[in-house]
Amino acid sequence: MVKKKIVVVGGGFGGVSAVDALSANPEFEIHLVDRRNFHLFQPLLYQIAMAGLSPSDIAIPLRTLFRKKRNVHITLAEVDQLDIANNKIHYDKNWVEFDYLVLCCGAKHAYFGNEKWEEFAPGLKNLEQAIEIRRRILMAFELAEKETDPIIRSKELTFVVVGGGPTGVELAGAIAEMAKHTLANDYHNADLAKIKVMLVEAGPCILAAFPQSLSLTAQKNLKELGVEVIINTRASDLSKDGLQIGDQYVPAKTIIWAAGVLPSSLTMQIPGEKDRLGRALVLPDLSLPEFKNVFVIGDQAACKSKSGEFLPGIAPVAMQQGAFLKDVIVSDMLGRARPTFEYVDKGIMATIGRSKAVVSTKGFNFSGLPAWLAWVFIHLIYLMKFKNRLFVFLQWAWSYFTFGRGARLITHKTWRFYDGEKIKLE
Amino acid sequence: MVKKKIVVVGGGFGGVSAVDALSANPEFEIHLVDRRNFHLFQPLLYQIAMAGLSPSDIAIPLRTLFRKKRNVHITLAEVDQLDIANNKIHYDKNWVEFDYLVLCCGAKHAYFGNEKWEEFAPGLKNLEQAIEIRRRILMAFELAEKETDPIIRSKELTFVVVGGGPTGVELAGAIAEMAKHTLANDYHNADLAKIKVMLVEAGPCILAAFPQSLSLTAQKNLKELGVEVIINTRASDLSKDGLQIGDQYVPAKTIIWAAGVLPSSLTMQIPGEKDRLGRALVLPDLSLPEFKNVFVIGDQAACKSKSGEFLPGIAPVAMQQGAFLKDVIVSDMLGRARPTFEYVDKGIMATIGRSKAVVSTKGFNFSGLPAWLAWVFIHLIYLMKFKNRLFVFLQWAWSYFTFGRGARLITHKTWRFYDGEKIKLE
């Protein structure tokens, strides 16, 4: 039996679900190529930045995930070139051939031509960024605790999150809470109560993907947490000391970028049409119009729903797409017509700090504690699939009830970072 | 009532136990100054390097530790100058006065004039180093898995630990086990069985601080794990490709330095005599001969035992010294004569991978599983003092019984590191 060689690029939600589904078929020889050695549960990445969880709680080595799958081969490498016309991709200085190619390299943060802003306002897409954001937030408190000049101190206690999507909302809410409950006990300096958290959204509302009622609820919840929500306003002129928000200049030591993403750079090498976000347009079977054996899924793909809009770049879409590919390739092998991908929309959710969230599912909208519990439950279910992930929940539940922040460690840079120096730790 | 201002420099075992004891007395105003914001449980640091535990499992924020102590003030800062004659120390660009000073800045790795070796053979003293060692070990496996040239592959699968003290023994044993049990399942490349782990000790035996019988037992246990133990031999000429061990050259990608420590650089600014390790000689009350209000404890201090030898640089010594200081300062306030520090030697222990260890206590020596259980128990007791540390044990027990390595993440550098390049992660 000649095995079909399927190369999957990217171990995110799309890639893992594709490999998981495809590996069930012994006629497939699957090669999963990723630049990192782990699958990251991105929806909880903000918990790392908030010191609520540790990296190993939400990242699982790809080899561990597919340990039992004999027909899955994992390579830690970065794909740098595509030669789709000739069924080849390039990594580790070699050209590798494939029968089928699945591209699911995800997205990165977009600074829309202001890439230098990244230094002042890191995004939240990978573990290193999450740890850097954690470091900056905790460092801001340490510096404020020592600072005698009230003007500098208020700058150190001002946190601005740019972008009112789910990540921005989660971050802003979590920072406000972290300040109120957790850190207030740890710092004797009363002014810490004077912490300022701002959420800046260029559009007319936060959580634009949600029904207006939920978007307003989220905004109300954030206000209750002490977050200043600013809509219809663009952030500009970011520097290490602050940023311009509309026509007001805000001095701020800590700025976090949660505004807009772009598909992985590799997408530019995909032949064919792109949508305005730069995602590759795919057919209803998720293949490229010109290349039936090349599929693009997840944040990299511009895939239309039945009703004709593009599907959003969220985990459920990528996971369903990944699982769907098995049916397509099996149909090919059986000489049948390919099925059409239909996204089953189970809804969307976003959490706003402890015990508050918004959920919109099948026209049914709810918020508050029930929504938060639904949010916890769904994330827990996913994590439970990873051996040993139970501890995540225990740890997490514990820090929820104790207001603890077990992972509140300042690592990987020295406290002098803001002076521009970097001391070598002994 | 005029409070006594006591400045404690360093939040290690000595500092934490000193602050803990002193803070019970409301007449003391305690200032704990540390460059890091957390207390690190160093004896388990090798578990981070081995991906068995996560940083937050063994590091606890100092502010959390002393949250309830109103007379404890914590400052995240690096002390850069001492002016002991004038009762002042310098940090954050300010001179700070003290009534009493406690120096417990610990030790750093010593490369004995070959500091450039650190790049090729990191030590294991802080979290960043542990994560870097973890990264190098896991990366070596990933590269070996991809490597086609058997000579390069064997270089990538050769791990050399320099220094046969407890840390070196723990690391060598753990690497050998990690390779055998954990990683063998994850890599299809059979040659991974050909992994080579070497432990190089310049002296006549490993674990020199232990009775000879235990030292030999440890050596036997290591051999059973597949570790090549080389004694009476010096490592030299370290490079990124290997090192000279006696008169044989060993090509090795991963070298770890566990040979010898030096007291923190600040020790050089302490007036008075030093021992041959560069530690400050202290009186039986742990104060400096010339300055009764300045104490040096832990790895920074050369403190004689009753029998006249210098006490070793281990946690129990530092902890007992820290607690002892309270009695000294209280005696001063009561105008009484100062007590003399007497170290209560509860023994020493070292673990050699899973279920094997050596313990020497009050002339009673034992090894194997009982010793390992004693080792686990004692470390657990200590960790349990930290709120939420129970999870450490659960997680740890879990990964013990499942041979899991939950924290097996390659982070904070890209996989191309060994090519000398550094790609920015998206």
User: In chain A, pLDDT over 70 holds for what percent of residues?
Assistant: 89
> Residue A187: is its pLDDT beyond 70?
yes
Q: Is the dihedral of CA A334, A335, A338, A339 positive or negative?
A: negative
Residue A132 or residue B53, greater confidence: A132
Distance from C-alpha of B293 to C-alpha of B284, rounded to nearest angstrom:
13
The CATH number of whichever domain residue A15 belongs to comes to: 3.50.50.60
The CATH number of whichever domain residue A131 belongs to comes to: 3.50.50.100
Q: Do B127 and A409 touch (CB under 8 A)?
A: yes
> Residue A185: is its pLDDT beyond 80?
no
> Residue A405: is its pLDDT beyond 80?
no
Within 8 A of B410 by CB-CB distance, chain A residues are 36-38, 76
Task: Please tell me whether the overall predicted TM-score, pTM, comes out greater than 0.90 for this model.
Answer: no
Tell me, what's the pLDDT at A420? Answer: 37
CA of B232 vs chain A CAs: smallest distance (Å): 28
CA of A54 vs chain B CAs: smallest distance (Å): 7
User: In chain B, pLDDT over 70 holds for what percent of residues?
Assistant: 89
Within 8 A of B61 by CB-CB distance, chain A residues are 186, 405, 408-409
- Are residues A17 and A157 part of one domain? no
> Residue B124: is its pLDDT beyond 60?
yes
- Are residues A244 and A191 part of one domain? yes
Q: Do B38 and A63 touch (CB under 8 A)?
A: no
A140 falls within a domain: yes
Q: How many domains does chain B have?
A: 2
Arithmetic mean of pLDDT, B44-68: 86
Instruction: For the beta carbon of residue B420, count every other beta carbon within 10 angstroms.
Output: 7
Residue among A56, A75, A398 whose CB faces B54 most closely: A56
User: In this structure, are residues A254 and A143 in contact, taking their beta carbons and an 8 Å threshold?
Assistant: no
- Are residues B231 and B176 part of one domain? yes
Residue among B77, B125, B391 whose CB faces A394 most closely: B391
pLDDT band at B306 (very low <50, low <70, confident <90, very high): confident
- Are residues B254 and B273 part of one domain? no
Within 8 A of A398 by CB-CB distance, chain B residues are 388, 391
Q: pLDDT tens digits, residue range B23-38?
A: 999 999 999 999 999 9
Within 8 A of A391 by CB-CB distance, chain B residues are 391, 394-395, 398
Task: Give the nearest chain B residue to A124 (CA atoms).
Answer: B426
B125 falls within a domain: yes
Tell me, what's the pLDDT at B389? Answer: 55
**Range among A358-372, B95-109, B127-141 with highest mean pLDDT value:** B95-109
A384 falls within a domain: yes
Best to test chain B binding among A74, A266, A395, A417 (most B CBs inside 10 Å): A395
Tell me, what's the pLDDT at B327? Answer: 96
Arithmetic mean of pLDDT, A171-200: 83
Tell me, what's the pLDDT at A394? Answer: 63
A98 falls within a domain: yes
Arithmetic mean of pLDDT, B114-122: 90
Q: Do A415 and B77 touch (CB under 8 A)?
A: yes
CA of B360 vs chain A CAs: smallest distance (Å): 30
> Residue A113: is its pLDDT beyond 50?
yes
How many residue contacts between A and B have a Cβ separation below 8 Å? 161
CA of A183 vs chain B CAs: smallest distance (Å): 9
Instruction: For the beta carbon of residue B347, count every other beta carbon within 10 angstroms.
Output: 15
Task: Give the nearest chain B residue to A397 (CA atoms).
Answer: B388
Domain boundary among B334, B365, B390: B334
Best to test chain B binding among A29, A34, A56, A387 (most B CBs inside 10 Å): A56
- Are residues B31 and B90 part of one domain? yes
Within 8 A of A415 by CB-CB distance, chain B residues are 35-37, 76-78
Q: Do A398 and B404 touch (CB under 8 A)?
A: no
> Residue A385: is its pLDDT beyond 80?
no
CA of A285 vs chain B CAs: smallest distance (Å): 28
Lowest mean pLDDT among A100-114, A408-422, B233-247: A408-422
Residue A115 or residue B293, greater confidence: B293
pLDDT band at B423 (very low <50, low <70, confident <90, very high): very low
- Are residues B130 and B102 part of one domain? no
Domain boundary among A297, A313, A334: A334
Please pick, among A29, A132, A170, A201, the residue that the annotation labels catalytic.
Answer: A170
Within 8 A of B146 by CB-CB distance, chain A residues are 75-77, 92
Task: Give the nearest chain B residue to A63 (CA atoms).
Answer: B186
Tell me, what's the pLDDT at B417? Answer: 33
Tell me, what's the pLDDT at A120? Answer: 92
Residue among B186, B387, B412 whose CB faces A63 most closely: B186
- Are residues B121 and B237 part of one domain? yes
pLDDT band at A370 (very low <50, low <70, confident <90, very high): very high
- Residue closest to A403 by CA, chosen among A180, A225, A171: A180
Provide DSSP, B282-314: --TTSEETTEEEEEE-GGGEE-B-TTSSBPPS-
> Residue A242: is its pLDDT beyond 50?
yes
Within 8 A of A264 by CB-CB distance, chain B residues are 426
Q: Do B411 and A128 touch (CB under 8 A)?
A: yes
pLDDT band at B398 (very low <50, low <70, confident <90, very high): low
Task: Give the nearest chain A residue to B72 (CA atoms).
Answer: A188
Q: Do B388 and A395 touch (CB under 8 A)?
A: yes
- Residue closest to A252 by CA, chosen among A273, A237, A233: A237
CA of B330 vs chain A CAs: smallest distance (Å): 26
Arithmetic mean of pLDDT, B147-164: 93
Give the residue numbers of B annotated as catalytic, written as ranges: 170
- Are residues B371 and B242 part of one domain? yes
Tell me, what's the pLDDT at A398? Answer: 59
User: In chain A, pLDDT over 90 holds for what percent of residues?
Assistant: 65
Tell me, what's the pLDDT at B421? Answer: 39
Cβ-Cβ contacts under 8 Å for A271 (sequence gap 6 or more): A84, A85, A288, A290, A291
Residues β-bridged to residue B259: none
Distance from C-alpha of B275 to C-alpha of B307, rounded to nearest angstrom:
17
Within 8 A of B409 by CB-CB distance, chain A residues are 37-38, 55-56, 59, 61, 127
pLDDT band at B64 (very low <50, low <70, confident <90, very high): confident
B64 falls within a domain: no
Residue among A387, A416, A426 whose CB faces B265 most closely: A426
Residue among A61, A92, A402 whose CB faces B146 most closely: A92
Domain that holds residue B144: 115-259+347-411
B316 falls within a domain: yes
pLDDT band at A289 (very low <50, low <70, confident <90, very high): very high
Q: pLDDT tens digits, residue range A32-64?
A: 999 999 999 998 899 888 888 888 888 888 998
pLDDT band at B55 (very low <50, low <70, confident <90, very high): confident
> Residue A293: is its pLDDT beyond 70?
yes
User: In this structure, are residues A293 and A197 in contact, taking their beta carbons and an 8 Å threshold?
Assistant: no
Arithmetic mean of pLDDT, A19-40: 95
Mean pLDDT of chain B: 88
The question of whether A273 is a catalytic residue gets the answer no
Within 8 A of A185 by CB-CB distance, chain B residues are 67
Best to test chain A binding among B135, B389, B395, B399 (most A CBs inside 10 Å): B395
Q: pLDDT tens digits, residue range B313-350?
A: 999 999 999 999 999 999 999 999 999 999 999 999 99
Q: pLDDT tens digits, residue range B354-372?
A: 789 999 998 899 999 999 9
> Residue A402: is its pLDDT beyond 80?
no
Residue among A78, A138, A404 whose CB faces B37 most closely: A138
Specify the residue for token string 């031509």: A113
Task: Give the nearest chain B residue to A182 (CA atoms).
Answer: B64
Q: pLDDT tens digits, residue range A255-288?
A: 999 998 899 999 999 999 999 999 999 999 999 9
- Are residues B356 and B227 part of one domain? yes
- Are residues A360 and A234 part of one domain? yes
CA of B91 vs chain A CAs: smallest distance (Å): 11
* A378-411 b/e (C-beta count within 10 Å ≥ 16 → b): bbeebbeebebbebbbebbebbeeeebbbbbbbb
Provide DSSP, B18-29: HHHHHTT-TTEE
B86 falls within a domain: yes
Task: Give the nearest chain A residue to B118 (CA atoms).
Answer: A426
Lowest mean pLDDT among A72-76, A397-401, B11-15, B177-181: A397-401
Q: Do B426 and A265 touch (CB under 8 A)?
A: yes
Within 8 A of B10 by CB-CB distance, chain A residues are none
Q: Do B63 and A387 touch (CB under 8 A)?
A: no
Q: Do A408 and B138 touch (CB under 8 A)?
A: no
Domain boundary among B285, B308, B334: B334
Tell me, what's the pLDDT at A243? Answer: 96
Arithmetic mean of pLDDT, B11-27: 96
Distance from C-alpha of A63 to C-alpha of A42, rounded to nearest angstrom:
18
CA of A396 vs chain B CAs: smallest distance (Å): 11
Element (H, E) at A132: helix A127-146
Within 8 A of A128 by CB-CB distance, chain B residues are 411-412, 425
> Residue A423: is its pLDDT beyond 50?
no
Tell me, what's the pLDDT at A396? Answer: 59
- Are residues B91 and B227 part of one domain? no
Name the packing angle between helices B212-224 and B166-177 (round to 10°). Answer: 20
Tell me, what's the pLDDT at A403? Answer: 53
> Residue B126: is its pLDDT beyond 70?
yes
Q: Do A415 and B35 touch (CB under 8 A)?
A: yes
Cα A263 to chain centroid distance, Å, stands at 12
Parallel, antiparallel or unpaired: strands B196-200 and B227-230: parallel
A271 falls within a domain: yes
Mean pLDDT of chain A: 88
Element (H, E) at B396: helix B390-402
- Are residues A371 and A244 part of one domain? yes
Tell me, what's the pLDDT at A178? Answer: 85
> Residue B163: is its pLDDT beyond 90?
yes
Q: Do B56 and A406 touch (CB under 8 A)?
A: yes
Distance from C-alpha of A137 to C-alpha of A409, rounded to nearest angstrom:
11
CA of A334 vs chain B CAs: smallest distance (Å): 30
Structure tokens at A234: 């663009």
Within 8 A of B414 by CB-CB distance, chain A residues are 35, 78
Lowest mean pLDDT among A17-21, A105-109, A177-181, B144-148: A177-181
